[in-house]
A and B are shown apart, each in its own frame.
Chain A
Amino acid sequence: MEAATTGPIGRKRLDDRTAALARLAALLAMRASATAYRECVDRALAAGASIDDVIDTLKGVAPVVGLARMVSAAPEVALALGYDVDAALEALDIHRPGSPDGF
């Protein structure tokens, strides 16, 4: 950790967490594969990023990468975070305010 954050000439290098989030932003812009998202998100989380950070990255690049990228990337990033959007859209038992029974 120590070595990673300090460069050879004493200037602060980009820390692992930020680097992983930056890579994620690039992947979002490039329309990467599901595997690439997963690896990148795993790395970011391992480097101390929170889920909030990942979501904020997604939101943060939105104005730059545009609507279409957001829509196609959202399920991929979600899956990398362990949330299956497709399944959630199909499932019946997602929270439903104000409805006591199954109907």
Chain B
Amino acid sequence: MKAEHEDLLRKLALNDEGVLAPLVGDGVADAAPGGLDDKTAALVRLAGLVAIGSAPASYQWIVTRALVAGASDAEVTGVLVALAPIVGSVRVGSAAPEVALAIGSELDLPLDG
């Protein structure tokens, strides 16, 4: 396989905005397309990721975005709570550890130590 393919596949797996943006639309790298503020935009996207079930890298990416935009831990976990009745506890349950890890990493909590 060509090195450029390998590079592309790794960057996709990392949720690299620079690679994804041209593929799925410029809104990815742009923190807040439209009128939403950065924080709300990130939390809304987190909801979308949870609803369809996503890779850990995606959760890590969007949670970092949310926290850096000023969201509190309670707001991030609040999204999960709010989604449970809609997407079901199985979806939320599988996303929860990844989101917690993303927050924990940002919080510096040893979650599975």
Contact = CB atoms under 8 A, between A and B. Distances in A.
Interface of A: 31, 51-52, 55, 58-59, 62-63, 66-72, 74-75, 77-78, 81-83, 85, 88-89, 95
B111 interface: no
Closest 8 CB pairs of A and B: A74-B12, A62-B23, A72-B55, A68-B54, A78-B9, A74-B13, A71-B55, A62-B24
Task: Report whether over half of chain A's contact residues are helix, strand or loop; otherwise say mixed.
Answer: helix
30 contacts: A51-B2, A52-B5, A55-B9, A63-B23, A67-B20, A67-B24, A68-B49, A68-B52, A68-B53, A68-B55, A68-B58, A70-B12, A70-B23, A71-B12, A71-B14, A71-B15, A71-B54, A71-B55, A71-B57, A72-B53, A78-B6, A78-B9, A78-B13, A81-B5, A82-B1, A83-B1, A83-B9, A88-B6, A89-B13, A89-B14
